Amino acid sequence: MIVETFAVGALGCNCSIIVDPATKSAIVVDPGGNFGDIQARLTRLGAKVQAIVHTHTHIDHVGATAPLQSWTGANAIIHEDDRFLYDMLPIQAALVGTNLPDKCDLDGGLKDDLVLHAGGLQMHVLHTPGHTPGSCCFVAKLGAEQIAFAGDTLFRRSVGRTDLWGGDSDLLIQSIKHKLYSLEEGIEVVTGHGPSTTIGEERRLNPFVRI
Ligand SMILES: [Zn+2]
Ligand SMILES: [Zn+2]
């Protein structure tokens, strides 16, 4: 499995490109900005994007979704419980002080336990509300390889804020304890901003949510 993670946009959202090397089928997670950079990386990788998925619909995670969707023709998917946030992108843009991105038609089909397929890649969806009502984490699998994408639910030694629209700190903690900490200890976790971590490290060392 090829995984490229890189910061995009003014807030440094981690965008990831996941590719099945055998088929070049790919999934993009959180195209939050810098469409030109995402496009150049996909072209270099020869990636055929099958789906664009979002850990949640804060503006820093969906800022380049519209151009990526129109360039690739891939389905762009969110959890339906976050659609209200996409509908209020102008308010989000004003709060962050960024330009209003183009909008596209989003599929609200992300659901807990859903598995998306792209070539040999499997993308398991975990609904993890708390940071936003429709926040999701993903576990990508190819053969024995696994890697998780936590969005703004879990950070290295920290957790996502819950003071924005629809945030809920009790739900966030339940999501981390019951959905993320039940994954295998050794799984690498790509977070929404900043460095990656592992499930085991956070179970032992996260000051906000420990087992
Ligand atoms: Zn967020
Ligand atoms: Zn974010």
What are the residues whose beta carbons fall under 8 Å from the beta carbon of 142, sequence distance 6 or more?
1, 20, 120, 121, 122
Nearest Cα residue to 51 out of 70, 82, 72: 72
Cβ–Cβ < 8 Å for 191, 128: no
The pLDDT assigned to 211 comes to 81
Cα 21 to averaged position of ligand 2 atoms, centre (Å): 28
Ligand of minimum distance to the alpha carbon of 60: 2
Gap between the Cα atoms of 75 and 107, Å rounded: 7
Gap between the Cα atoms of 178 and 152, Å rounded: 16
Gap between the Cα atoms of 24 and 1, Å rounded: 10
Q: Helix, strand or coil for residue 51?
A: strand
> How high is the mean pLDDT in each 10-residue block of the chain (211 residues)?
97 98 98 98 98 98 98 98 97 93 96 98 98 98 97 98 97 98 98 98 96 81
Ion ligand 1: protein residues whose beta carbon lies under 5 Å: 58, 152
Cα 152 to averaged position of ligand 1 atoms, centre (Å): 5
The pLDDT assigned to 121 comes to 98
The pLDDT assigned to 36 comes to 98
Distances 197 to 10, 72, 157 between C-alpha atoms, Å = 22, 30, 8
Cβ–Cβ < 8 Å for 169, 131: no
Question: Could you tell me the fold of the domain covering 2-205?
Answer: Metallo-beta-lactamase; Chain A (3.60.15)
The pLDDT assigned to 177 comes to 98
Q: Domain coordinates of the chain in residue numbers?
A: 2-205
Pairing of strands 154-155, 158-159: antiparallel
Gap between the Cα atoms of 98 and 79, Å rounded: 24
- Strand-pairing partners, residue 142, are 145
The pLDDT assigned to 18 comes to 98
The pLDDT assigned to 9 comes to 95
